[in-house]
Amino acid sequence: MMTRKKVISTLTSIIAFSLVLTVTVSCAKKKDKNEGYEANILAMQDLLLSENLTEEARYGIIRKIATTYLSNKQNAELIVYLTDWVESHPQDKFNAYWLLMVAHSYMQTNEDPMAEFYFERIIKNYQDLEVEGKSVHFLCLENLIKISHNSDSRIKYFNQLINRFPSSVSITEMYMRLAREYENIGEWTKALRTYNMFLEQPDAASIQITDIPDAYNYAKTLIDFNKSPKDWTFRSLASLEAAIREAIYRYQPNRLDAMRSKVNFFAVSWKQDENASTGQVAFSMGNYMHGNRITCDKELIPGPTPNEAYLRTTGWTTMPTWYFYFREVNFPADPDIHGRWEWAGIYIGDML
């Protein structure tokens, strides 16, 4: 009869043997799989040495080799194989496509600078070709826009998409994105011209662009402001405040009307969004001052940023409390105007 100690020893031996057997079988299967995979690659490479292969047949074999590498997540092997092939076969008309696969492989491994290098190389050095119904150059430009963070480069890519592939992109969106890049680098003449081209598109007012909310109003405000005389702006917040207070004190509604911003001036309640207003407010201040004594708080109320401020006023017809909203002008296109202050709107009712 086996003792408890012997039983435990026997069970331990059985478990250890089972683990060894499992590992051995697994390794054997993996080895068989690797050998089969490598044999498949070698067999296809041998096929490439066959005489009288058509270009299409050669394309099919190389693509099969490449996709085999990809399916086994061997991106490094794929890159070495395809770059070597392009180097040694400069006349292969599909070289642009092979380098496209190389660039995609770098993207998959988060090596965007290398991917950008190959996408650029394809566009500069290889004629475009269509593979499976898709333009290789178009795919390169699409991916370059995704991974590039340089505005000068992105401007070049957007212009190429607009000029070379107008039927494959939303021209309206391209104009907006191109204008934003011009704005980023301070090319205001080109930015404003491109914003204007955006506004001229039939779907500009309705288009929804990811990561650019309210694109239409943004562009329209810039263009309208650029075309305006801008004669309602003040050198400083203090000078704007003083002028407003004096006009109210002296009961000069026409002067107040003249001091309002002539681009997107709003009059909304605190629950509304000034950007959702339906165009330039056209009412006369005199309609709401008539027969009333308007007073102002002694101090301005700071805004949510240093570039904003409020002046609380009371005594207006209907809703008696109005907050005049002042803001610093943000318009680098005109250095003489940029940084001045304007009366941009009115919030009606008590502050929330």
Write the CATH number of the domain with boundaries 59-225.
Answer: 1.25.40
**pLDDT of 17 higher than 80:** no
| Residue 271 banded pLDDT, cuts 50, 70, 90 | confident
Task: Report the alpha-carbon distance of residue 341 to residue 311 in Å, rounded.
Answer: 14
Question: What is the per-residue pLDDT for 291?
Answer: 84
Query: Which whole-number Å values give the CA distances from 349 to 203, 277, 293, 314, in the listed order?
Result: 36, 17, 17, 9
Average pLDDT in the 289-301 region? 94
| Topology annotation, domain 237-348 | Nuclear Transport Factor 2; Chain: A, (3.10.450)
**pLDDT of 352 higher than 70:** yes
| Residue 11 banded pLDDT, cuts 50, 70, 90 | very low
Question: What is the per-residue pLDDT for 280?
Answer: 58
Question: What is the per-residue pLDDT for 293?
Answer: 93
Task: Report the alpha-carbon distance of residue 155 to residue 222 in Å, rounded.
Answer: 20
Task: Report the alpha-carbon distance of residue 305 to residue 155 in Å, rounded.
Answer: 31
The residues spanned by each domain of the chain are: 59-225, 237-348
Query: Which whole-number Å values give the CA distances from 340 to 118, 201, 244, 326, in the listed order?
Result: 47, 32, 15, 11
Question: What is the per-residue pLDDT for 46?
Answer: 76
User: Of 235, 188, 198, 245, whose CA–CA distance to 218 is shortest?
Assistant: 198
Give the model confidence (pLDDT) of 74-118 as tens digits: 999 999 999 999 999 999 999 999 999 999 999 999 999 999 999
**pLDDT of 348 higher than 60:** yes
**pLDDT of 313 higher than 60:** yes
Give the model confidence (pLDDT) of 35-69 as tens digits: 566 777 787 787 887 778 888 899 999 999 999 99
Question: What is the per-residue pLDDT for 1?
Answer: 47
Give the model confidence (pLDDT) of 173-222 as tens digits: 999 999 999 999 999 999 999 999 999 999 999 999 999 999 999 999 99
Question: What is the per-residue pLDDT for 247?
Answer: 97
| Percent of the chain scoring above 90 in pLDDT | 76
Burial annotation 301-318 (CB, 10 A radius, 16+ → b, else e):
eeeeeeebbbbbbeebee
Query: Which whole-number Å values give the CA distances from 276 to 214, 227, 239, 308, 323, in the listed order?
Result: 10, 22, 29, 19, 18
